[in-house]
Structure 1
Amino acid sequence: METESEHHGMFVDPDFPADDSSLFCDYATPLPKLLGDVTWLRPQEICKQPQLFPDDPVEAHPKQGILGDCWLLCACSMLLKNQHLLNKVFPPEQPLWGDHVYRGEFRFQFWQNGHWIEVRVDDRLPCINDTLCFSRCQSPRAFWVALLEKAYAKLCGSYERLWAGQVCEAVVDLSGSIAVRWSLKGAESPQQPKDSQTQHTPNGTRLSELSLELKERCAISCCVHSAPTGIPELGQFHAMGVMEWTNMTTTSGEQVELIRIRNPWGRRSWAGVWREGGSGWASLEPSCSQALLGRTAEGEFWMDETEFQQEFDEVTVGYPISDAGHLQSIYTGSYLTHSHQIGSHWVKGHSAGGCRNNSTFSINPKFWLKACESGEVLLSLLQYGHPESPAEPPPHLQAIALHVWKVEKKHFNLMRMLNKPPLVSHTHAYDREVVVHTHLNPGFYLLVPSTFLQGAEGRFLLRVSSSCSTSLSVMKSPPPLQHCSEGEWETISSHGCWSIGSTAGGSRNFSTHGLNPRIPLTLTYDPGGNNVKVTLCQNRPENSLHAIGFHIYKVPDGDSLLTPCAMSPVVSCVPHAHSQEVSVFCRLQSGEYVVIPSTYQPELSAHFTLTFTRRIHRKAMQSQELLGHVVQEVSCVSVMR
């Protein structure tokens, strides 16, 4: 490694050295083919009179090298459209080559998990045969792209970790904005609205609904998941940048929307009717054709909207962001001037309840959102995706979702609320960030972020941006069961089994539900608040669990017969979950009850344990015992009433 003295005081980054540890991480990509061929050079050793940015802005755009990071380069092109963001990521007035204070050190900022962090790198860049081997600018003398790529590689742990990624993640990291992915093949949105005012919208139609002004302000890229017909040289999974949208009128009076695409490889790669020399240009006035073709730089080409929908599989749309940091809605164009964010985590056994299929869903972190007036609201759940230190592997992304319930009353039953369909939600997805867009009326809303798997751990950031005044806070979890002077808790367990042909009746969806075992429950004390916890545990191996649940029925006074199919339970632990244990903590009035545990499907056998933890009344008697003149001990003796 080169040292400070060998470089006459030039900065050498000890945390991201010029060796293979900065290039490779797990040797799982084609990149290790370069092993032994890479040398590290500073820009003044690569060319004469290096620059950060070229004199011609067109030549500042990124050009992809042999590293598969087209996704990052699409986000880099976004910075060239927004000088404020570019200055945020790459703070200006840093010493450059030729300055007497230049030391070969550059500072970048990236948005990570809710705040901007600084990343420092030296300007030694990986080369092969004295030429940059990874990304660079169109101008061979400009180095802002190569330096930013190095800083981002340091953030991620190595250059190899930049091989393949999502454009939306890079857009967020370079802007602090929010980005969404839309399929162009007619798939429905993963957002699941439940209110009558919101309709399912095929993603492919959303792009055409954006105004030209918004399209120009958004960071938009497009990608293919397989080799398209019009771009035969492309393989699978390649991203390109959308540079311009324009509406043109043909000589026959028809309207056509043309889109200028930029391929990070620097090749035009397009064989459609709007290629250079294609038949589409004959439908426009010659002056219009010449003007549009004159705007195409190296690696750029035009296509119409129909071709765009056919050739590409997906688009990524980054929300525009103002200099003040306010997001602009891609649906209405309004600025979302109110914003909040809270970080939290899922912890196994404490707050990692999993999806709504699990009875433990209610232990997930919960948040209150108060909307002071009607308005547009954008909700984002972002799980931490980068390692906290470069030496650590990146965290495994969980399938995450975000659910929203409208709370009509100040006092409500949490379990009953969560058993109802949410007002709006995003289905579980293996994405770093999921986004929910909606319009809310004044009131209180309960937000519950979750992983799909029960017990899956991770850290996350919940973000809210809105056009109306809002507040966001953590919902305090109810305290655990505690003994108190006015009452105590006792636990009773019953063992039973579901037997095929006799007591395996299945859920209430089946007429045989009444055949299930019936366990009596008597409650004699109702001081207010939750007074009983019912837990059902099936005695089966983890790899062969049944979906289980239970219902609690009130026994009518003086009626010893109970017909479950003709009655409604007072409390239910549903939907049935493939869990070892399910439970409900609730309030029941004093009286006689019957608990009916069941598997979801009938004719499934298993042994089970049903446990009741109920509150009982005890009279507390206080006594004070004097021990000498120094120490006084106060004890509380509970006597059965």
Structure 2
Amino acid sequence: MPGLGSCTSIINLRFQEGQRGKGRQFVDRTFPPDSSSLEDLPELSSRQESQVKWLRPAEILKNQNNSKEAIFCTKGASRFDFGQGAVGNCWFLAAISSLTFRKALMVQVVPMDQNFNNHAGIFHFRFWRFGKWVDVVIDDYLPLMPRCADQACKDFCGGVNVDYKLQEVHSAGHDDKLWSSLSNASSCNSMICCGTAQKGGVLVNTVSNSGIVDAHAYSVTAVTEINYRGSKVRLVRLFNPWGRKEWTGNWSDKSDRWQRVSPNDRAKCEDRDDGEFWMELKDFCLHFSMLFICCENPNFIDGDVTCQWQSQTYDGKWTAGRSAGGSLSNRSFETNPQYRMKVNIIDKSEKEDKNIVLTLMQKPRQENRKGNQLTQLGSASLRFHQG
């Protein structure tokens, strides 16, 4: 993990690449404040795109007749600090809301030693990309839209991620295993996000009668078990990046079920229109399609928070005629990149103990900013030898 002082050379390099002169603030040439940086926004019409204005924070305040000085961040960050606007970036905002629970990780991604005092219009952030923390340096231009105000998690923490198809898990009767994973992930401070399916195969954020938005990303902010009429009820708390539109069914903010539980349990529900709400686990599985869990280490898999993992990263590539052996059915399969790992100590008394976790990543060939070309990634082949 790079220290705060290790970014200076990168920032200076971007100063040279950008545009800055005497009395002028930094302008990022790789992400210029114009329509070319907006890419394809199906949520906006051509007319709306043409009305987008790029302004610096001080200019935004001036346009609002606000005499206050721009502030980078005060009193930390909260999931309630933002609301999704016109752009369909719920997947990104859902990950950010999870990130706000991880204070130490938050300051790694968003260095807090930055402000608007005598600044040159330049800020930097860190993202984990293929085994390395990479500084991304930008100017402070913000696009203002003409209206009121699985991967992102990986880029924020660079950890291990697990996906669940919720309806399949529920239909197979694996609610106990799912709850165990959610509970472990929550206790390990993992980043947890989920998403709803498209309705009718169309990518439109329609709001159902239950208050759940179709084709939309949410973050899971807590899990808990409460006593209700002599039985345990498993509840999942979710946050809608819109900052509004909540679940209206059982255990929602206004559900009368909260009046039939203990005062301590009742205090967990806050009746306010902020986009955050509780759902029972079975309703969660029925109304949401996917669950994504990501953490810096694999402790959330078995809940063993005392375990100290050792990590290794191997870089390889498929080269035609040399290391692109193809599938297992090909004679040339053995020429694929191979790596050997050895586990020296195994505690046989822990039947569910996990000893090796593999994650595969493929770097995209970015031919242009609007699309990445990926080669089909197969599965890893493992051979175990005991002795």
Please give the range of the TM-score, normalised by the shorter of the 2 chains.
0.7 to 0.9
The match for 2:281 among 305, 315, 320 is 305
The match for 1:103 among 95, 99, 120 is 120
Match of 1:12 in 2: 27
What SS is found at the alignment partner of 2:135? strand
Match of 1:29 in 2: 42
Instruction: Give 1:306-321 correspondences, 5 Å limit.
Output: 306-319=282-295, 321=296
Match of 1:45 in 2: 59
Quote the offset at 1:202 in angstroms: 7.3
Q: In 1, Cα distance between the equivalents of 2:356 and 2:141?
A: 45
Q: Is residue 43–residue 123 contact of structure 1 (8 Å, CA) maintained in 2?
A: yes
User: Are 2:264 and 1:282 aligned?
Assistant: no
Quote the offset at 1:114 in angstroms: 0.9
Q: CA RMSD in A?
A: 3.0
Match of 1:471 in 2: none
Q: Is residue 221–residue 239 contact of structure 2 (8 Å, CA) maintained in 1?
A: yes
Match of 2:156 in 1: 174
Which structure: greater helix fraction? Answer: 2
Question: Larger RCO: Structure 1 or Structure 2 (Cα < 8 Å, ≥ 6 residues apart)?
Answer: 2
Letter matched to residue 381 of structure 1 = L
Quote the offset at 1:72 in angstroms: 1.3
Show structure 1 runs of 4+ deviating over 6 A. none
C-alpha distance 83-390 of structure 1, shift in aligned 2 (>3 A)? farther
Letter matched to residue 19 of structure 1 = D
Letter matched to residue 356 of structure 1 = L
C-alpha distance 226-120 of structure 1, shift in aligned 2 (>3 A)? same
Q: In 1, Cα distance between the equivalents of 2:232 and 2:174?
A: 23
Q: In 2, Cα distance between the equivalents of 1:253 and 1:29?
A: 50
Match of 2:223 in 1: 245
Q: Is residue 230–residue 311 contact of structure 1 (8 Å, CA) maintained in 2?
A: no
User: Are 2:249 and 1:272 aligned?
Assistant: yes
Letter matched to residue 194 of structure 2 = C
What SS is found at the alignment partner of 1:174? helix
Letter matched to residue 99 of structure 2 = L
Task: Say how many residue pairs are matched.
Answer: 346
Q: In 2, Cα distance between the equivalents of 1:363 and 1:298?
A: 55
User: Are 2:190 and 1:218 aligned?
Assistant: yes
Quote the offset at 1:399 in angstroms: 3.5
Which structure has the bigger radius of gyration? 1
What SS is found at the alignment partner of 1:379? coil
Q: In 1, Cα distance between the equivalents of 2:316 and 2:246?
A: 45
Match of 1:116 in 2: 133
Quote the offset at 1:231 in angstroms: 3.7
Instruction: Give 1:506-517 correspondences, 5 Å limit.
Output: none
Q: In 2, Cα distance between the equivalents of 1:379 and 1:202?
A: 27
Q: Is residue 225–residue 233 contact of structure 2 (8 Å, CA) maintained in 1?
A: yes
User: Are 2:104 and 1:128 aligned?
Assistant: no
The match for 1:80 among 100, 113, 129 is 100
Of residues 357-366 and 78-87 in structure 1, the stretch that sits farther from structure 2 once superposed is 357-366
Match of 1:359 in 2: 331
Q: In 2, Cα distance between the equivalents of 1:390 and 1:51?
A: 35
Q: In 2, Cα distance between the equivalents of 1:397 and 1:304?
A: 40
- When normalised by structure 1's length, the TM-score is 0.49
Q: In 2, Cα distance between the equivalents of 1:395 and 1:104?
A: 33
User: Are 2:86 and 1:66 aligned?
Assistant: yes
What SS is found at the alignment partner of 1:401? coil
Quote the offset at 1:15 in angstroms: 1.9
Deviations 1:209-236 (A, max 9, x none): 237364241211121113496645623x
What SS is found at the alignment partner of 1:120? strand
Q: In 1, Cα distance between the equivalents of 2:323 and 2:45?
A: 41
Quote the offset at 1:110 in angstroms: 0.9
The match for 1:394 among 348, 351, 372 is 372
Aligned-residue identity in percent: 27
Which structure: greater strand fraction? Answer: 1
Letter matched to residue 206 of structure 1 = K
User: Are 2:270 and 1:294 aligned?
Assistant: yes
